[in-house]
Amino acid sequence: IKAFFELKKSKRSRHIPFLASFCVGIPLFYGWYFDALAMGLQASLGGLVILYYQPNAPFRKRMVTMLVSSLGFVLSLGVGLGFSFNPYVSAVVLGFFAMGIHLTTTYFKIKPPGNFFFIMIASMASCQSYAVELIPNKIGFLFLGTMLACFLALCHALLWIKKSPTPETFTTQVKKRKFVSLIDSVVIGICISISLIVGHILEMQNPYWIPISCLAILQGISKQHVWERMIHRIVGTFIGIGICWLILLVCTTPLSICISIFVLQYLVEVLIVKNYALAIIFITPMTILLAEIGSSFTANTEIMVSARFLDITIGSVIGFMGGWLIYNQRFKNEATHHLRKVNIFIRKSRKH
């Protein structure tokens, strides 16, 4: 409860919330102006790659990180769309993809949000209707959104490269035991896969909310942190859904929804580094509006928000169970012991 109201100090650049809002908002406004909201939404999803921008890193590292992350976004969308022909096949593939992404981001020490948005995009794409002829079109608009984000990041880097010299920092790296990253990746992959399968079994309208919520809980850095994130996400979601309901009552046009998303994105980026629970209050309406912007004007608002609360609660519980496994030392020791046995067996087999 205390953590719910605690505001942490942040050294994050004050420009990042503005950059994030423009990267998400500009494609939406273009989509509204040209009466192509679906395409604008796809591009704005790509604009989220700006969250991997590191303003305190050297110029070259900033831009390389942005470009590689952009390619990762495109790959995530391609994997999700390519296997969406069958819900259960896509769930299994998504699990393996989550494993690979977590291993990759851990190996290269990618800073937060780490694996989150890659898996999120793949989850959303895997629940879309399968249409081969539309895949290049969707990937193209996502890529345009990432390129807009890269361009704005380049402008920021050129303007502030002299004014914001890279501070010399000393960090302590916690050396993990062998196989720990692999075990974590397997647990995350299984939880993500199970989450999506549960969503399909329960015939949720948008089952991707469950794995996304599960993944958000799995971002915790300790057993206590995972527990706190689950409680904060459920409580924050409950409050956020109320705010979303009010926004949908007041904002009845596509333009007003686009403006709401722009403002909510700014608030989220300001709060996410200060207080996760408060940020969730605004993340919930923002993500619902982004996902439902094409149908929220005709769908029953009460049914929609109640369905989102159920999805997010189920995902949070599955995420907590996965987080408990990840930070359970006895489970880690047993899994590591068996993996070492397998590794020794493989080495002996190669010699013979």
d(C-alpha 189, C-alpha 203), whole Å: 21
**Residue 162 backbone phi and psi in degrees, to 5:** -90, -30
3, 35, 128: which is closest to 76 by C-alpha? 128
Residue 295's pLDDT band (cuts 50, 70, 90) = low
What's the whole-number mean pLDDT along residues 125-131? 91
**What does each C-alpha distance from 232 to 61, 201, 288, 293, 330 come to in angstroms?**
34, 27, 18, 26, 27
Q: List pLDDT tens digits, range 109-119.
A: 888 888 999 99
Better-predicted residue by pLDDT, 172 or 75? 75
Number of Cβ within 10 Å of residue 248's Cβ equals 23
Residue 178's pLDDT band (cuts 50, 70, 90) = low
For the record, the structure tokens of 209 come out as 């909310």
For the record, the structure tokens of 320 come out as 């907590």
pLDDT at residue 3, as a whole number: 67
Q: Which residues contact 351 (CB under 8 A, 6 or more apart)?
A: none
Q: List pLDDT tens digits, range 60-106.
A: 999 999 999 999 999 999 999 999 999 999 999 999 999 999 999 98
Secondary structure (DSSP) of 142-157: HHHHHHHHHHHHHHHH
For residue 123, pLDDT beyond 90: yes
* The model's pTM: 0.88
For the record, the structure tokens of 84 come out as 């969406």
Long-range CB contact pairs, 327-333, < 8 A, 24+: 327/220, 327/222, 327/223, 327/226, 328/223, 332/180, 332/183
Look at the block and give the residue holding tokens 């790659």: 49
**What does each C-alpha distance from 334 to 71, 99, 226, 348 come to in angstroms?**
37, 20, 21, 22
pLDDT at residue 86, as a whole number: 94
Under 8 Å between Cβ of 153 and 66: yes
What's the whole-number mean pLDDT along residues 308-331? 88
For residue 167, pLDDT beyond 50: no
Q: List pLDDT tens digits, range 208-267.
A: 989 998 998 888 777 787 888 788 878 887 888 888 888 888 887 888 889 999 999 999
Q: List pLDDT tens digits, range 4-45.
A: 667 777 777 778 899 999 999 999 999 999 988 889 999 999
For residue 169, pLDDT beyond 50: no
Amino acid at 325: L
Amino acid at 308: R
pLDDT at residue 172, as a whole number: 36
